[in-house]
Amino acid sequence: MMSINDNTPVGALTVGQLKEILGVERTEPITEVQNFTDNKYIYGLKGIRDEFSVSHATAQKYKDGILKDAVQQVGRKIIVDREKAHQLFANSGRAI
């Protein structure tokens, strides 16, 4: 085993040795898990298209506009709260 002193280059250390020196312990990231399996949610632009009977382009406009507060998007995944979306849509003055 290599002895570590003040002259040891950081590049010569293993990840474990570096963590030991820095006093870093492995911790698992905390993630919040939400259940999106019921009919309370609309999934993707296709879901918005089907729910409001609009074109793909209009679904994109709705997602970025009047439905913005009901939309959760991470990367390419789009999840819309159905009840909130209908409330926002009704408040916008548009008809389905």
51: CATH: 1.10.10
Q: Is residue 68 part of a domain?
A: yes
CB atoms within 10 A of CB 2: 9
Q: Is residue 21 part of a domain?
A: no
13 has a pLDDT exceeding 60: yes
Rounded Cα distance, 23 and 37, in Å: 41
pLDDT for 23 equals 82
| Across 26-39, average pLDDT | 67
Q: Is residue 83 part of a domain?
A: yes
To 10 degrees, the CA torsion angle through 20, 21, 25, 31?
Answer: -130
pLDDT for 34 equals 65
Amino acid at 75: G
Residue of higher predicted confidence among 44 and 36: 44
Q: Is residue 17 part of a domain?
A: no
| Across 30-41, average pLDDT | 70
Residue of higher predicted confidence among 44 and 8: 44
Q: Is 83 helix (H, G, I), strand (E, B) or coil?
A: helix
Q: Is residue 59 part of a domain?
A: yes
Q: Is residue 57 part of a domain?
A: yes
Residue-number span of the structural domain to which 87 is assigned: 41-91
Number of domains in the chain: 1
pLDDT for 72 equals 94
Q: Is residue 65 part of a domain?
A: yes
